[in-house]
Amino acid sequence: MSLDTAAITAASARFPKPARSFTYGTAGVRTLGKDLDSTCFRLAIVAALRSKWAKGKVTGLMVTASHNPEQDNGLKAVDPRGEMLASSWEAHCTRIANAASDDELVGVVQDIVAKESIDLSQAAVVVYAYDTRPTCPALVRALEAGLDALGATKRNAGLLTTPQLHYLVRAYNTQGTDEAYGEPTEEGYYEKMAQAFKTLVPAASPLVVDCANGVGAPALQKLQKYIPAASLPFKVLRTAISTPGALNSGCGADYVKTTQSLPAGLESEVQADSRMCSFDGDADRIVFYYLRGDPREKASFRLLDGDKITALAADWISELVKTAEVDLKVGSVQTAYANGSSTRYLEQRVPVTCTPTGVKYLHHAAESYDIGVYFEANGHGTVLFSPASIAKLKGAGSGAPEAAAARKQLLALTELINQTVGDALSDMLLVEVVLRVTGRSFAEWDSTYEDLPNRLLKVLVPDRTLFETTDAERRLTRPAGLQAQIEHEAARYAGGRSFVRPSGTEDCVRVYAECEKADELGALAENIKKLVEDAAKAAAQA
């Protein structure tokens, strides 16, 4: 069977490529939604080819720009195991998105077919979903045209969170096998998690959830139908999914993490002792927080971010493994953004790996452990149980009653946790389980270790591609000389550490700084920012 090149060319003519370039970066393609029709059309072709390559297994495409502002949009591709697209295929996405003409596009498609030895007679099935952004309907139409051009079977899963789409892909592909992941429906997703949650916990006080005015809002409202309010009472806030401009604006996990404060206006909607958390726009990240002392003081805000989630989960899972009398290695994965205190805390307990930013890197590193706990400081992450560890837990002999109970809890955790990708809903339930089973409050969890004061700044530069990094993004190799200046500046502060990296999802360079004394942090961060601005100007002029 050969490619229907005429169908591809004719359909492609309806989605002309704007005069600009695209990159499949940290989390897929991401830019202004109005520029993405051609990219959606073309990445749908790649998703169909990937499905053919995988002998007809279902692949996925999510239309979202996650934590970015509402006018942005993007695409995240999902592999047959429900995980992020294999990095070896990212270059195909970038190439196809940048093909200058319809004919060049056909050439790229033919090239991918040849390079990946794709049998075109295989069927292709692609499931796709989208978030609440106003540009989604048009982008979904372009995506569908791309699937039609390859004759792929289309499964429109509708309005979903990103992790729900990842779940669906794995569930479709494992249906009827020994590895069946769950019913391949949205209801199946809620039922699986709710069942595991009920197995694991006693009741507790309400949790206030900021849904970032995004797709997590309807998902959480649906989840409530599966978990009785008596066992998990929620107060669901920031649910305005059809209010223009509301998405991620003054709320959401990214806002809370970067401003280290409550979502705008939340102080009047919560109590001094409220337990709170925030999702991001596509509900694949979560951070928790509470108020300590006078709620009117900014200093009363206490953040429990991805690092604290790692510590909580790694500690409890390590304890369970010990009690369960099974030989399993628990490890953790972080990025350079991990607070220095969290890394020190974890290193005394479990092996710690550091990878570049991007959950795709952390996910793969976590697979090298029997049980890998990974979270970026921004709250994006999950826990992976290797197939061998699940088999060990299932096959272990009877032993002491506590050992059997711990094994049962670990197995229920494998059902509760979305193992395809970080998932705000599933991570929220995981944290609830650990706190309730161990009888801890947010304040007790918070006291695990004290974060070093830290700041994250966005710096707008003429050309972020002039910034290149090495050593898991902890050091710059370009612009020349800047790294030495950063190190020299950081060394002036007790416990000072700073790094600079180009963002893979926004047009900016990010500056991270931490040091022991809160009153010195502002100077450290601002001085590094100034060094970056000066170096960027000089590099752009060179």
Residues tagged active-site? 66
For ligand G16, the closer CB: 38 or 68: 68
For ligand G16, the closer CB: 53 or 337: 337
Pinpoint the alpha helices (H) of 90-205: 90-98, 102-115, 136-149, 162-174, 186-200
For ligand G16, the closer CB: 182 or 214: 214
For ligand G16, the closer CB: 279 or 493: 279
Among 148, 504, 526, 538, binds ligand G16 (CB under 6 A): 504
In the region spanning residues 224 to 263, those forming contacts with ligand G16, defined by CB under 6 A, are none
CA distance 251 to 263: 4
Smallest CA-to-CA distance from 217 within 163, 156, 281, 261 is with: 281
Query: From the CB of 170, what's the least distance to ligand G16, in Å?
Result: 18
SS3 percent helix, strand, coil of the chain, rounded to 5, is 45, 20, 40
Query: From the CB of 335, what's the least distance to ligand G16, in Å?
Result: 7
Stretch that binds ligand G16, among 230-238, 278-286, 405-413, 518-526 (CB under 6 A): 278-286
Count of residues engaged in binding ligand G16, rule: CB under 6 A: 18
Which are the contacts of 291, defined by CB distance < 8 A and separation ≥ 6?
262, 270, 272, 273, 274, 300, 301, 302
83 binds ligand G16 (CB under 6 A): no
DSSP 8-state code for residue 153: E
CA distance 36 to 426: 30
CA distance 513 to 497: 6
For ligand G16, the closer CB: 75 or 320: 75
| Phi and psi angles of residue 114, each rounded to the nearest 5 degrees, phi first | -70, -50
In angstroms, how far is CA 359 from the centroid of its own chain?
6
69 binds ligand G16 (CB under 6 A): no
Query: From the CB of 169, what's the least distance to ligand G16, in Å?
Result: 17
Q: Is 519 assigned to a binding site?
A: no
Query: From the CB of 422, what's the least distance to ligand G16, in Å?
Result: 8
Q: Are strands 72-78 and 301-304 parallel, antiparallel or unpaired?
A: unpaired
Sketch the per residue contact string, 356 through 395, with ligand G16: x for CB under 6 A, - otherwise.
-xxx----------------x-x-x---------------
Q: Distances in Å between the alpha carbon of 325 and those of 162, 321, 330, 393?
A: 36, 6, 14, 9
Query: From the CB of 284, what's the least distance to ligand G16, in Å?
Result: 5
For ligand G16, the closer CB: 287 or 359: 359
Q: Is the peptide bond before 479 cis (omega within 30 degrees of 0)?
A: yes
In the region spanning residues 330 to 359, those forming contacts with ligand G16, defined by CB under 6 A, are 357-359
Given a contact cutoff of 8 angstroms between Cβ atoms, the answer to whether 283 and 424 are in contact is yes
Q: Distances in Å between the alpha carbon of 444 and those of 290, 449, 466?
A: 12, 10, 44
Q: For residues 508, 129, 144 and 30, what is the CA-based torsion angle, rounded to 10 degrees?
A: 0
Pinpoint the alpha helices (H) of 337-386: 340-347, 359-366
Given a contact cutoff of 8 angstroms between Cβ atoms, the answer to whether 524 and 498 are in contact is yes
Smallest CA-to-CA distance from 451 within 265, 294, 302 is with: 302
For ligand G16, the closer CB: 105 or 430: 430
Stretch that binds ligand G16, among 127-135, 191-199, 475-483, 500-508 (CB under 6 A): 500-508
Given a contact cutoff of 8 angstroms between Cβ atoms, the answer to whether 350 and 330 are in contact is yes
503 binds ligand G16 (CB under 6 A): yes
The two three-digit tokens of residue 306, written as one number: 């991805």
Stretch that binds ligand G16, among 227-235, 383-391, 458-466, 503-511 (CB under 6 A): 503-511
473 binds ligand G16 (CB under 6 A): no
Among 42, 510, 514, 524, binds ligand G16 (CB under 6 A): 510
Q: Which amino acid is at 409?
A: Q
In the region spanning residues 23 to 62, those forming contacts with ligand G16, defined by CB under 6 A, are 26-27
66 binds ligand G16 (CB under 6 A): yes
Q: Is 50 assigned to a binding site?
A: no
Q: Is 231 assigned to a binding site?
A: no
Stretch that binds ligand G16, among 299-307, 320-328, 497-505, 518-526 (CB under 6 A): 497-505
For ligand G16, the closer CB: 340 or 504: 504
Stretch that binds ligand G16, among 181-189, 455-463, 502-510, 533-541 (CB under 6 A): 502-510
Q: Is 377 assigned to a binding site?
A: yes
Q: Is 503 assigned to a binding site?
A: yes
Q: For residues 290, 295, 297 and 302, what is the CA-based torsion angle, rounded to 10 degrees?
A: -10
Among 57, 67, 95, 257, binds ligand G16 (CB under 6 A): 67
Among 102, 144, 280, 305, binds ligand G16 (CB under 6 A): 280
Feature table: binding site for Mg(2+): 66, 280, 282, 284
Feature table: binding site for substrate: 376-378, 501-505, 510
Feature table: binding site: 66, 280, 282, 284, 376-378, 501-505, 510
Q: Which residues bind ligand G16 (CB under 6 A)?
A: 26-27, 66-67, 280, 284-285, 357-359, 376, 378, 380, 503-506, 510
